[in-house]
Amino acid sequence: MTIGFRVLARSRAVGADIVRDFRKLPVANVSDVMARMTAGGSRLRPMHAGGFMAGPALTVKARPGDNLLVHKALQMAEAGDIIVVDAGGDLTNAIIGELMLAHAEEIGLGGFVIDGAIRDSAAIRAGNLPVYAAGVTHRGPYKDGPGEVNVPIAIDGMVIQPGDLVIGDEDGLLCVPYDDVGAIYQAAAAKQAAEEKMMAETRKGNVRKPWVDQRLKELGWTGI
Q: Which residues of 32-42 are buried (b: 16+ CB within 10 A; e: fewer)?
A: ebbeeebbbbe
Task: Please give the Cα distance from 130 to 111 (Å, whole number).
Answer: 5
Phi, psi angle pair for 179, to nearest 5°: -75, -10
Nearest to 60 by CA among 72, 42, 78, 52: 72
| pTM, entire model | 0.94
Q: Is the pLDDT of residue 17 over 70?
A: yes
Binding site per annotation, positions for substrate: 97-100, 119
Binding site per annotation, positions for Mg(2+): 120
- List pLDDT tens digits, range 159-192: 999 999 999 999 999 999 999 999 999 999 999 9
- List pLDDT tens digits, range 74-133: 999 999 999 999 999 999 999 999 999 999 999 999 999 999 999 999 999 999 999 999
* Structural domains in the chain plus CATH codes: 5-186 (3.50.30.40)
User: What sign for the dihedral angle of Cα 150, 152, 153, 159?
Assistant: positive
Binding site per annotation, positions: 97-100, 119-120
| Amino acid (1-letter code) at residue 5 | F
Nearest to 82 by CA among 43, 26, 40, 120: 40
Question: Distance from first CA to last CA of the chain, Å, rounded?
Answer: 65
What is the pLDDT at residue 1? 63
Nearest to 99 by CA among 132, 77, 70, 79: 70
